[in-house]
Amino acid sequence: MRSFPPFDGLIAFEAALRHASVTRASAELGLTQSAVSHRLRKLEDFVGMPLLIRQPSGLSATPAGIALSNELAGLLERMADLRALCRAAAPPPALKVGVGAALADYWLVRRLPHFAEAHPGIPVELAILQGDAAARSADLDVTVLWQPAAGLRATSTQRLLFREHVYPVCHPRLLPGRRPLADVTRLKSLPLLHKGRAGEDSGAEWSWTTWFERLGLGRPPPAEIRFATIATAIAAALAGNGIVLARSLLVQDALKDGRLVRVLPQSWDLPSNKTQLVRWPAAMAQDRRVKAFVDWVLRIPKIPGG
């Protein structure tokens, strides 16, 4: 009788290694840290050797873990394709597209009517995703993901959609004349909005400390309010509550409409350490609905600096 590895352990291992953290993996999978650690131990017991090196700076893979990770990436993609293989022979009437909440609310939904006009025979069912695990488990034809930019490339099942920039924006009433600050020291007197948990490393471009150091302003004041998601932080900025560090696609329309304004000249922009990626199962690669949507979303004009 064949012996199979614990599937829940494989999922926990992939998430923990990708985040270099059991804590972040548990948040993505909706489990406790002890549950994730238990699944990792069960997997290590199955293979008979350690797979992860636990250090104060985070998790890294042992040689055995690296070998497993290399095989696991393709395996999970193939497993995600199983549902698509069954659907390929008789595609459902609606194209199921998965996308993160912020990109959907602030960018995609405003443009979907244009797709409907160009392709009246292809209805779209939009699903909001919370993390990579949700993208893999969902019944989707196309996903738009925000992934680490390092190493990403175009393949037969994915295309790079856009590399965003990060920069501060705010409600027009916070800036006299609605123009970027000529005197950057004024930033110290304006309210700052913070995204993510304290101590969470989302990249230097998201840290007000990084921005204050670049501007020669010393250290920023302590955060009085933090927002778990970029979508909520931008909503607070639209309400006039302060200045937020935002991604270019998410504020492109608000800047164009005058609902938000830049705080600093465009020359201060920082590239995001993640990029937008559009992906589809290999079994759906020749599906006319998938091809139509991918071609359309790649052609949408995107303004790097907003």
CATH superfamily of 91-163+274-299: Periplasmic binding protein-like II (3.40.190.10)
CATH number, domain 165-271, options 1.10.10.60, 3.30.200.20, 3.40.190.10, 3.40.50.720: 3.40.190.10
Return the domain boundaries, the chain: 7-73, 91-163+274-299, 165-271
User: Quick one: pLDDT band at residue 197, thresholds 50, 70, 90?
Assistant: confident
Q: Tell me the pLDDT tens digit for each residue of 215-243.
A: 999 999 887 788 989 999 999 999 999 99
User: Per-residue pLDDT for 135 more than 60?
Assistant: no
The pLDDT assigned to 105 comes to 94
User: Per-residue pLDDT for 183 more than 70?
Assistant: yes
Q: Tell me the pLDDT tens digit for each residue of 239-264.
A: 999 999 999 999 999 999 999 999 99
CATH number, domain 7-73, options 1.20.1070.10, 1.10.10.10, 1.20.1260.10, 3.10.310.30: 1.10.10.10
User: Per-residue pLDDT for 190 more than 50?
Assistant: yes
The pLDDT assigned to 90 comes to 59
Q: Do the domains 91-163+274-299 and 165-271 sit in the same CATH topology, yes or no? A: yes
Determine if the pTM surpasses 0.95: no
- SS in 3 state form for the chain? CCCCCCHHHHHHHHHHHHHCCHHHHHHHHCCCHHHHHHHHHHHHHHHCCCCEEEECCEEEECHHHHHHHHHHHHHHHHHHHHHHHHHHCCCCCCEEEEEEHHHHHHHHCCCHHHHHHHCCCCCEEEEEECCHHHHHHCCCCEEEEEEECCCCCCECCEEEEEEEEEEEEECHHHCHHHCCCCCHHHHHHCCECEECCCCCCCCHHHCHHHHHHHCCCCCCCCCCCEECCHHHHHHHHHCCCCEEEEEHHHHHHHHHHCCCEECCCHHHCEEEEEEEEEECCHHHCCCHHHHHHHHHHHHCCCCCCC
User: Per-residue pLDDT for 305 more than 50?
Assistant: no
Between 89 and 156, residue with greater pLDDT: 156
